[in-house]
Structure 1
Amino acid sequence: MSEVFDGYERQYCELSANLSKKCTSASLLDGEQKKQKVSEIKTGLDDAEALIRKMDLEARSLQPSAKAMLLAKLREYKSDLNNIKNEVKKISSTSLAARDELLESGLAETEMVSSDQRGRLLMSTERLNQSSDRIKESRRAMLETEELGVSILQDLHNQRQSLLHTHNTLHGVDDYIGKSKKILTAMSRRMTRNKWIVGSVIGALVFAIILILYFKLSR
């Protein structure tokens, strides 16, 4: 909901109530006093129309969800303003001779209609405010859900980075193990070759000793 719109709305409601009181007062007057009061009311009507135009511009600049509710309010306020204008027209056209009749019948009816209209306006405003509160609550829940989703994505990103780091570390360990395996294989081959060489040398020595003993014993 727009705070700017709320400010205009409060001003209009106060002005509307004031104009209704002035209409009631003007219907009881006559002559110059009545003309002066009607002039004041018309000036107030101009101010009320200016406020409605400002509310209309502010409402149309908002998002569709809030815009629809505010425009519904505006329709009620425009209807209320038209009723006040009709009251002013009746007051302006009513002659002094018909004043008593207006006081006995028409004035009471007009006040009742105006009161009923304002009552409907208040009820509509209350319903719209409740709808606005529900929208605000839904928007707050949506923002909390969005923040939770962002937090989960950040956690997953951090876990992915950790897994990549672990993978790189394991890959390095595999490289070291591969190199160590090659070194051990080479050492094992050298040891096997050395064993064959030592065995051959020992065999040659044994063979030489046997030949020496044979020749000595044969003499």
Structure 2
Amino acid sequence: MASGAVVSSSISSTAARRLHNQSQLSNHSISIGESLNFTDSFSLSSSTINPLITITYFNISLSQENQQLILNSYSSCRRLIEHMKQIVGIQQDETIDLIDNEGKLKELGTHFDDYASQFLTARSTYYVLKVEVDSTTGEKRYIPNFNIDQLDQKLNTILTNALNTLNRSASKPKRPTGTLRQNVVSQSLFNTTQSKTKRTSNKK
């Protein structure tokens, strides 16, 4: 069994209707990517349960309407991310991630060589985020690569709050650590010593 390939799976009309009925989007269209060679991943006739997930996104060069794509998460996080970038229309040197219905960031980029199925739950829906990294500070900013206004009100609120929290925590000033912290402590001790010296001099 060869592993590591991502499969964009087509679905039957019955399954499509089921997903259509369960969709939480105002636009219920389902975008199915081009199928890859299944032998590059695993045999559908095997006893392995397909860990299929659904991603929600829009390809800004085509439309800002939300689309859904069913993917096989039985691959490395690296391969899954690369494949999603192709579908979503994001450059390979840019960074993306997924967030779930509860507003939890999956941080796939920190698990490149692990199976994505370890971090993504089968038959769940995830939402594509673009991650902008400040080259100077290393701070991250998470931007939805889907139209959040097309989600139902409850989900819209959950994801909006989650993104606000993520972006606030990313922009918080970091506590000084290592050498920088030592310098801050040394400067503080130096200032304290100077103050004591001045007080002693005044008393004389």
TM-score for both structures, normalised by structure 1:
0.22
Higher share of residues assigned strand: 2
TM-score for both structures, normalised by structure 2:
0.24
Higher share of residues assigned helix: 1
